[in-house]
Amino acid sequence: MKSPSVRGGARGVAVGALLAVSTVDLQAASNAGLSVWRPAVVLVVGLAAVLWPATRRPNWLTPQVRTTVPALVSVLYTAESILRHRNAPFGPGEIAVLLCLLFIAVRHCPPRWAVFCGVLDAGALLTTPARYFRSLWSGDDAQLYFVVGLVLVGLAAGLAAYLRSLDYRRTVAVAETRREERVAIAADLHDFVAHHVTGILVQTQMARMMTTAATGSPEGLDPVLAGIERAATEALASMRRTVGVLRDTTDDSHRRAVGDLAAITDLAEGFLSAAQNVTLHRDATVSESLPHEVQAAAFRVVQEALTNVRRHASDAAEVSVSLHHDGTRLVVTVSDDGRGGTQLPAAARGGGFGLVGLTERVTALGGELHTGPKDDRGWEVRALFPTVER
């Protein structure tokens, strides 16, 4: 892979070469006693389409626009020269620009546009000799220029088509690799994790039956066992949905294994226990019409924060979940009053990947994630998601 300095140097050489050959066109028009503003307009439009930096390119400047507008300007210049019976010279600058636009059209335009834009750019290039010769078949020189133009068009279009095929094959290979990885992860979830969760569920059900048979009315223990059974059942249901999504590569929204703002209420209620109280505060300004990816990320933030409370701060008596909208951002806050120090088995403590994954998910949406101790007591997780396009 070439370094950025090498790529920048190559781009600089290409830009310099295009500008140099473009001056030849202007000089030819001046030597012929013609006004240079017509070829200057053609060159400026074409060079802008070719050289406009991708990082500063506006959304409306699509490959279709970049390749059609300069070609149409060139065709209009050719038509105006023929209709006015004026011998207008053509030079290497415009030919080079049209070849670059042909390359862009074949490689980067959408399939339905690639042929149209490519033919338009090729036609503009092949008809440029008609400005000077009045006809493409008026003599040997005109025919020679036409044949050379055909060769150049074939080379540019062929190279662009070859690179486009490489891009397609690379995309297919990456998609296939990801699909295989998804299937492997789904198999591991189904064969190992689901097996252990099922074992937890079955043993909890047996414990409830044995406790009921032994005591008749287990008021103290049965709610705890019922909570474990409910959590295991929800974990199995979520895992089945996740396995289905991993195995199915289609993008059906009803198959998604992610939550939304409405699911946060169920999540908070399911976290309630005899020792911990979860309070959910949701402002009326928080709309259900927020983008699905923002709602899903907010759900994951709350889910991971509550899981961390259970892991690391089981002594917390009050847990607060807050959702509000400050006009441009959705603010999700989860805080507790625990002191930490929960002793869990090493295998259940996690490897710190939860917050790493949350940070990646939140920042991918242009948001921010802040975690840390509160001033008085406890821990706070605060996520901010932009809901207005910048």
With pLDDT > 70 as the criterion, what percentage of the chain qualifies? 76
Q: Residue 163 falls within a domain, yes or no?
A: no
Pick the last residue of a domain from 138, 171, 197. 138
The β-bridge partners of 382 are 333, 370
Q: Residue 125 falls within a domain, yes or no?
A: yes
Q: pLDDT, tens digit, for every residue of 312-369?
A: 777 788 889 999 988 888 999 999 888 765 554 554 455 555 677 788 888 888 889 9
| Contacts by residues 348-354 (CB-CB < 8 Å, ≥ 24 positions apart) | 348/311, 349/311, 350/311, 354/304, 354/307, 354/308
CATH of the domain at 339: 3.30.565.10
Q: Residue 301 falls within a domain, yes or no?
A: yes
The pLDDT confidence band at residue 54, using thresholds 50, 70 and 90, is confident
Q: Residue 24 falls within a domain, yes or no?
A: yes
Which of 125-129, 155-159, 176-180 comes out lowest in average pLDDT?
176-180
* Cut 0.75: pTM above it: no
Q: pLDDT, tens digit, for every residue of 160-196?
A: 999 999 999 998 888 888 777 777 777 766 666 666 6
Query: Under a CB-based contact definition with an 8 Å cutoff, are residues 68 and 124 in contact?
Result: no
Three-class SS string for 96-126? Answer: HHHHHHHHHHHHHCCHHHHHHHHHHHHHHHH
Q: Residue 113 falls within a domain, yes or no?
A: yes
Torsion angle defined by CA atoms of residues 78, 79, 85 and 91, in that order, rounded to the nearest 10 degrees: 0
Q: Residue 180 falls within a domain, yes or no?
A: no
Structure confidence at residue 257 (pLDDT): 45
Dihedral over Cα of 358, 364, 367, 368: its sign = positive
Pick the last residue of a domain from 82, 113, 138. 138
> For residue 331, what are the CA distances in angstroms to 9, 334, 354, 369, 370?
45, 10, 19, 10, 11
Higher model confidence: residue 16 or residue 198?
Answer: 16
The pLDDT confidence band at residue 288, using thresholds 50, 70 and 90, is confident
**Structural domain span for residue 125:** 12-138
Pick the last residue of a domain from 138, 155, 187. 138
Q: Residue 240 falls within a domain, yes or no?
A: no
Q: Residue 82 falls within a domain, yes or no?
A: yes
Closest CA to 332 of 366, 297, 359: 297
The total number of structural domains that make up the chain: 2
Cα 313 to Cα 114: distance, rounded to the nearest angstrom: 59
Q: pLDDT, tens digit, for every residue of 215-254?
A: 655 555 666 667 677 767 767 776 776 677 666 655 444 4
Q: What is the mean pLDDT of residues 37-53?
A: 91
Residue 97 has pLDDT above 90, yes or no: yes
Give the distance, in angstroms, between the CA of residue 145 and the centroid of all CA atoms in the same chain: 45
Cα 124 to Cα 68: distance, rounded to the nearest angstrom: 10
